[in-house]
């Protein structure tokens, strides 16, 4: 989006011209009044600011900068930019500034979705808000025009069938899409929109979440792996650090040297907003030490590229044990045997830390606190994982050779 400020010379009055912000995107233009009036002689069109000094001039320039920053942020955070229109962007800006209630049909699902996302900025994680982007695209394909008052159990079931049969989406991914519907319906309900209460009975499909983790032998293969490219080395260091600490990608990305003192890392979890402290072990400290010198503790690259590198790194390290991938599509269970490296992702590091910590004798309460779990029940799944991994290893060692 290109944004620029212009004086309205045709509205010159008492030596002052109104100042407008023009935003061009998708071949269309949005015009927003800045609420400021400036003398043509005092305006610098190239610097896009008022000339001179003093509190009054500084106040006008700061207001203009805030306006442009706000509009650009709303544009950048909009999940489906191709569908964004000047009217929608203006409504989002008005809702953000509290200038007026957004105009338009109050039961328009997509308008309410936009309002929900705008109001959630700073309250919800960036990853959570980004997940609404793909969900919006799929829903728009299924129902280009959608009113929240028309969403009932029948609509919900038909949409589930569309996601599974037409788009081939697994149940785990379907949950992300259906969460969007429930969030907007709940938001509309709080606004007093007469929605059908069916949304309270919308249920997710059966899922089978696989918590894959590395064995100690596999982890050491990665620890001793040497790579030639900088991108792979960055991904390897960050992934290993997660394996040795249990930190999520979002938390590692935000770590600075100020978070670490005397070998203790202190931070607020991005996902749960809870404060957590973890004593860094020798492996984690070594990774931190060899990456010193930056504003962040570790050279974190994008989550997508990190996951691409993780699969390749695990393949290079020979982590190729056959594992079973189970995916549910509706009520159908789809099984496929693949090498383990194909299924590796960043979150496997957290599972690895928890499982290996328990195997090495760390007590359950300590593991739970290090992971930042609010309930010990959440951590109990790793006890079962540790037992299962022990059983699998026993069977592998004593497997009869035909």
Q: What is the pLDDT of residues 301-320, one digit of tens each?
A: 888 889 999 999 999 999 99
Three-state DSSP state, 54 = coil
CA angle (117 as vertex; 113, 120 as ends), nearest 5: 140
Structure token digits, residue 43: 């305006």
State pTM to two decimals. 0.57
Residue 306 and residue 238 in contact, taking contact as beta carbons nearer than 8 Å: yes
Q: Where are the domains of the chain?
A: 1-85, 104-207, 216-397
The two tokens of residue 18 are: 């109104």
Among candidate residues 27, 33, 30, the one with its CA nearest the CA of residue 8: 33
Radius of gyration of the chain (CA): 26
- Report helix, strand or coil for 323: strand
**Pair 140, 111: CB distance under 8 Å:** no
Task: Please compute the mean of the pLDDT values over residues 222-246 and round it to a whole number.
Answer: 93
Per-residue pLDDT, 330: 54
pLDDT value at position 100? 47
Q: What is the pLDDT of residue 5?
A: 92
Res. 257 pLDDT band, cuts 50 70 90: very high
> What would the two tokens of residue 71 be?
């509009």
Superfamily per CATH, domain 216-397? Intergrase catalytic core (1.10.443.10)
- Residue 246 in this model has a pLDDT that exceeds 60: yes
* 1: DSSP letter: -
3-state secondary structure of 296: coil
- List pLDDT tens digits, range 82-93: 778 888 888 788
Residue 288 to residues 81, 223, 294, 305, Cα–Cα distance (Å): 39, 14, 11, 21
pLDDT of residue 102: 43
Task: Specify the fold of 104-207.
Answer: DNA polymerase; domain 1 (1.10.150)
68-77 contacts, C-beta under 8 A, 24 or more apart: 68/3, 68/5, 68/21, 70/96, 70/97, 71/3, 71/21, 71/23, 71/32, 72/1, 72/3, 73/121, 74/118, 75/1, 75/23, 75/25, 77/117, 77/118, 77/121, 77/129
Highest mean pLDDT among 66-70, 76-80, 262-266: 262-266
By percentage, how much of the chain surpasses pLDDT 90?
Answer: 24
Mean pLDDT value of segment 243-256:
92
Distance CA 199, CA 154 (A): 11
| C-alpha span between 87 and 84 (Å, rounded) | 8
- Nearest-5° Cα angle at 63, 61 to 66: 110
Mean pLDDT of 28-51: 90
Within 143-272, where are the H helices? 153-161, 171-190, 216-223, 230-245, 249-253
């Amino acid at each position: 989006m290109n944004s620029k400020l212009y004086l309205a010379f045709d509205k010159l009055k008492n030596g002052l011209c109104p100042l407008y912000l023009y935003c061009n995107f998708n071949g269309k233009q949005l015009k927003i009044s800045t609420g400021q009036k400036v003398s043509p002689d005092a305006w610098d069109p190239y610097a896009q600011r008022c000339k001179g000094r003093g509190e009054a001039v500084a106040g006008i320039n700061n207001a203009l900068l805030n306006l442009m920053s706000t509009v650009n942020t709303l544009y950048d955070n909009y999940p489906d930019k191709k569908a964004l229109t000047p009217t929608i962007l203006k409504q989002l800006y008005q809702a953000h500034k509290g200038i007026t209630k957004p105009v338009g049909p109050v039961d328009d699902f997509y308008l309410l979705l936009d309002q929900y996302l705008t109001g959630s900025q700073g309250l919800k994680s960036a990853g959570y808000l980004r997940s609404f982007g793909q969900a919006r695209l799929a829903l728009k394909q299924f129902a280009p025009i959608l009113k929240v008052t028309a969403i009932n159990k029948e609509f919900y079931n038909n949409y589930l069938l569309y996601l599974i049969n037409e788009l081939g989406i697994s149940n785990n991914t379907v949950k992300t899409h259906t969460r969007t519907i429930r969030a907007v319906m709940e938001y509309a309900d709080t606004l007093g929109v007469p929605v059908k209460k069916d949304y309270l009975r919308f249920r997710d499909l059966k899922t089978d979440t696989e918590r894959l983790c590395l064995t100690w032998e596999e982890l050491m293969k990665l620890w001793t792996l040497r790579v030639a490219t900088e991108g792979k080395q960055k991904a390897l260091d960050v992934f290993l650090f997660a394996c040795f600490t249990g930190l999520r990608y979002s938390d590692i990305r935000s770590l600075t040297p100020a978070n670490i003192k005397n070998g203790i890392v202190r931070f607020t979890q991005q996902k749960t907003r809870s404060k957590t402290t973890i004593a860094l072990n020798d492996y984690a400290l070594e990774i931190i030490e060899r990456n010193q010198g930056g504003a962040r503790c570790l050279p974190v690259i994008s989550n997508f590229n990190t996951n691409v590198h993780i699969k390749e790194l695990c393949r290079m390290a020979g982590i190729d044990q056959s594992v079973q991938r189970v995916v549910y599509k509706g009520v159908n269970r789809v099984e496929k045997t693949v090498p383990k490296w194909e299924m590796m992702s960043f979150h496997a590091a957290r599972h690895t830390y928890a499982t290996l910590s328990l195997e090495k004798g760390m007590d359950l309460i300590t593991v739970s606190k290090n992971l930042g779990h609010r309930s010990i029940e959440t951590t109990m799944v790793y006890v079962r994982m540790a037992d299962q991994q022990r059983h699998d290893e026993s069977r592998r060692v004593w497997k009869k050779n035909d």
